[in-house]
Copies of this chain bind each other. A is one copy, B any other.
Amino acid sequence: MTPQRTDQLQTPALIVDNDLLQQNLDTMATALPGARLRPHVKAHKCTALARRQYDVGHHGFTCATIREVEGMAKAGLGEDLLLANEVLDMSRLGVLVTEGHRITVAVDSAQTVKAAHDAGLREVVVDVNVGLPRCGCAPEDAGTLADLARSNGLHVRGVMGYEGHLMMAEPIAEKRHRTEESMELLLRAHEDVGGELVTAGGTGTYAVNTWANEIQAGSYALMDTAYGSLDIPFAQALSVLGTVISVSPKWAVADVGLKALGMDHGNPSIPGARVLFCSDEHITFAPEEPVSVGDLVHVLPAHVDPTVALHEALYLVHGDEILERWTVDLRGW
């Protein structure tokens, strides 16, 4: 039987508030319309949700894994997919290119340029380190890398940077100033590289990063708890529905454990309760008001992206009514 209401779901289950999701998508599409936003699908790993983003005007997407690129292409959303990450075995991407999908990959080394060429990729962006100690070549090396890519027959679409270290910077003036410094590095690289794309940013900097010509935000759609402290106009649309399975005098237990939660940002929260600890399949919490075995609880994960990656489906709801079941179809690698 297909569940019609949330109280018919097997818990734990991922719940997405349809109104809040749509409000988030509309707000962002107003701020960064069309190609100004290249939504990052890593935040939700769900082509049905990506289709909603497409429907509000964003036709290019950002991906973090080969599987995400493949899934988006197979879902008919392969007009312009950017794999904003370095990979070395691109054979699966090469297949997609020959099938007619537009796939662009990030490169930051001679090895990744060679990998792109060998696998039959046609388009790349040069990934530039703009301050986050992760991938990306030094800004001064970007032009040489672009030349190498072109000499390998690759079309260089521009530059990419990710100011991930600034997503939580405060106050806003400080964030704007530091983002400008970071993007100056990217623009300097862009002078040497050329191409039409200056792609960067995320949900934490979407409103201040006016230097990139497209922003790779993803978290805004479901909205991450950590970003909740920022003054940005997006609402938390996702929670994990659980069932109270045991009640003791001083605590209660629900069936939302750490295997159902992204735990890298720490424990989740439960409105109206103090979370004591999480086990594999349990959350022990002290509720402010008494709860009973069988009650439903909404658990708010501390980090949305890895939480979604643990579930097979998102349930789109309006109140207690289930509108749609969306498969989390971009999981894995």
Partner-B contacts on A (CB < 8 A): 10-13, 42, 64-66, 85-89, 108-109, 111-112, 129, 133-136, 138, 164, 243, 245-248, 250-251, 253, 255, 258-260, 262-264, 276, 278-282, 284, 292-294, 305-306, 309-312, 332-333
Question: Quick one: which of B134, B136, B250, B312 contacts A279, CB cutoff 8 A?
Answer: B134
A sample of 30 cross-chain residue pairs with beta-carbon separation below 8 angstroms, ordered by A number, consists of A10-B333, A12-B333, A64-B280, A64-B281, A65-B281, A85-B281, A85-B282, A86-B245, A86-B246, A86-B293, A87-B245, A108-B246, A109-B247, A112-B293, A133-B251, A133-B276, A135-B245, A135-B246, A135-B253, A135-B282, A164-B279, A258-B262, A258-B264, A259-B305, A259-B309, A262-B263, A263-B264, A264-B278, A310-B310, A312-B332
What is the oligomeric copy number?
2
* Contact A88-B263, Cβ < 8 Å, known A64-B280, A281-B42, A332-B312: no
CB distance from A307 to the nearest CB of B (A): 10
Given contacts A11-B333, A258-B306, A262-B263, contact A282 B248 (CB under 8 A): no
Give the residue among A86, A88, A246, A250 with the most B Cβ atoms within 10 A: A246
Query: Would B11 and A133 count as touching, CB distance under 8 A?
Result: no
Query: Would you call A111 and B293 a contact (CB within 8 A)?
Result: yes
Q: Is the CB of B243 within 8 A of A88?
A: yes
Whole-angstrom distance from the CB of A208 to the nearest CB of chain B?
21
Of all chain B residues, the one with the shortest Cβ separation from A243 is B88
Is there contact, CB below 8 Å, between A66 and B10?
Answer: yes
User: In the complex, which of the residues B133, B248, B278 contacts A129, with contact meaning CB atoms closer than 8 Å?
Assistant: B248
Cβ distance A261 to chain B, nearest Cβ, rounded Å: 8
Residues of the B chain whose Cβ atoms lie less than 8 Å from the Cβ of A85: 245, 255, 281-282
| A284 in contact with B243 given A259-B305, A264-B263, A294-B111 (CB within 8 Å) | no
**Cα–Cα distance between A209 and B247 once the two chains are bound (Å):** 27
Chain B residues in 8 Å Cβ range of A294: 88, 111
CB distance from A136 to the nearest CB of B (A): 7
